[in-house]
Amino acid sequence: MRQIGHFIDGKAAAGGSGRSGDVFNPNTGEVQAKVAFASKAEVERAIASAEAAQPAWAATNPQRRARVLLRFLELAQKEANELAQLLSSEHGKTIADSKGDIQRGLEVVEFACGIPHLLKGEFSESAGPGIDLFSLRQPLGVVAGITPFNFPAMIPMWKFAPALACGNAFVLKPSERDPSVPMRLAELLIEAGLPAGVLNVVNGDKEAVDALLTDARVKAIGFVGSSAIAEYIYTTGCAHGKRVQCFGGAKNHMVVMPDADMDQAVDALIGAGYGSGGERCMAVSVAVPVGKKTADVLMDKLIPRVESLKIGPSTDTQADYGPLVTKMHLDKVRTYVDLGIKEGAKLRVDGRNFKLQGYENGFFMGGCLFDDVQPHMRIYKEEIFGPVLSVVRAEDYEEALRLPSEHEYGNGVAIFTRDGDTARDFTSRVNVGMVGVNFAIPVPLAYYTFGGWKRSGFGDLNQHGPDAVRFYTKTKTVTSRWPSGRKEGADFVIPTMK
């Protein structure tokens, strides 16, 4: 049985707590590895390693730090196929989807390679008589990231790439469900020239998380996961004086207007709703057709498409999506479908009992499609995180606009229409953080910022883009004067520009 430990001070470290968790092969249901759960002492050792390495790394000029990331980028791209296979074997998403996971992470690494420009401060000559003003961006010190199972390559890179580029040392606590890719990324960073201790990886559960949250040496924490845990990490981290950036759950809507290209809208719903088995924070889980005719046409087109979804093992190049990550999560998603039926929603396609020949013990589930879902139902209110699409019929545009705007989550939303006025009004008025127009998964590119509103996001600064540089640095402002002669006497009046 493969044993997965930690990565501390530039090398693999066996777990010493005596506690561990199972890492499954979702295709077969078999346990393929054991991952060690770090004790508080092991987390403290990783933090100490980061603290010792950080000053020298911060003193390394930004261009040289960028060169390490460029070399890492090259190594990761060369190993992309192997990384994708490793990722799929623990998560269950298809190889093609895993490659997308890795690529979206590497795009943030590419962005972070521009750190010499991004760290430039401001300068004002002669802001006062003989006085110059300038600002500096300096690293925070030791920072940490707690990342989810659904993007085991992308989210760690979204966190550590800008943090390292800014001169911080980083402690990563990845998901214990699929820890192997983050461990391999740490090895590649060392191979790329990152000094030992600048990036450490500790695997574990709440004990490891709490150790990071309460240790005074950790100056900032980034998190992606459920809203309940995001709120816990945000409040606990802030209470311990840390800068905290947390991203939680989602219930992403896609509004379909009567004038939309219906075939395009259906293609978008199928891909965004069922890709990766719905295990994406940006998955579309609610379709909102406007008007009865639109809803009827949409359902007529959706039903056969959902029924014909090809579900297969993650290695199947023809599969639309693979298994869910664990049996526990599969059972949770099935329970939500049961609940939806009890609540009165119409289950038009039922994928609960899907079995794949030869993989009967795998964590597979067919696509499910609900119609006539109402806003009071739990299947509408709560994040399901599985291959379940709910159709909520809206009588008119204003009702369709209200649904995502009034939902407690505000991560992503999309509208499909051919009318520019409608699209412009929607993007302006909808109370959601990321908006797509005829684009179902509006994840911004790396040089823009990613983040949701309401209970989808806790904290003032978002992921990647300029916000990442702001989050991982502190601004120092210097007021400088070099007088040619000494002025006699003290000045007891506060300086002004009068």
Catalytic machinery residues = 281
Cα–Cα dist 75/161, whole Å = 14
Look up residue 384 and give its two tokens: 């399901």
Q: Provide the 3-class DSSP secondary structure of residue 489.
A: coil
Cα–Cα dist 211/39, whole Å = 8
What are φ and ψ of residue 128, in 5° steps? Answer: -145, 180
What are φ and ψ of residue 359, in 5° steps? Answer: -135, 40
Q: Provide the 3-class DSSP secondary structure of residue 455.
A: coil
The residues facing 24 across adjacent strands are 31
- The DSSP result for 30-45, as a single string, is EEEEEEEPPPHHHHHH
Residue 36 CA from chain centroid, whole number: 23
**Strands annotated E in 62-129:** 123-128
Do 409 and 418 contact (CB within 8 A), yes or no?
no
Do 1 and 13 contact (CB within 8 A), yes or no?
no
The residues facing 173 across adjacent strands are 146
Do 226 and 384 contact (CB within 8 A), yes or no?
no
- 3-state secondary structure string, 218-287? EEEEEEECCHHHHHHHHHHHHHCCCEEEEECCCCEEEEECCCCCHHHHHHHHHHHHHHHHHCCCCCEEEE
What are φ and ψ of residue 435, in 5° steps? Answer: -125, 135
Helix axes 397-406, 420-429, angle to 10 degrees: 30
Residues 6+ apart with CB under 8 A from 100: none
Closest CA to 99 of 72, 79, 119: 79
β-strands 453-454, 2-4 pairing:
unpaired
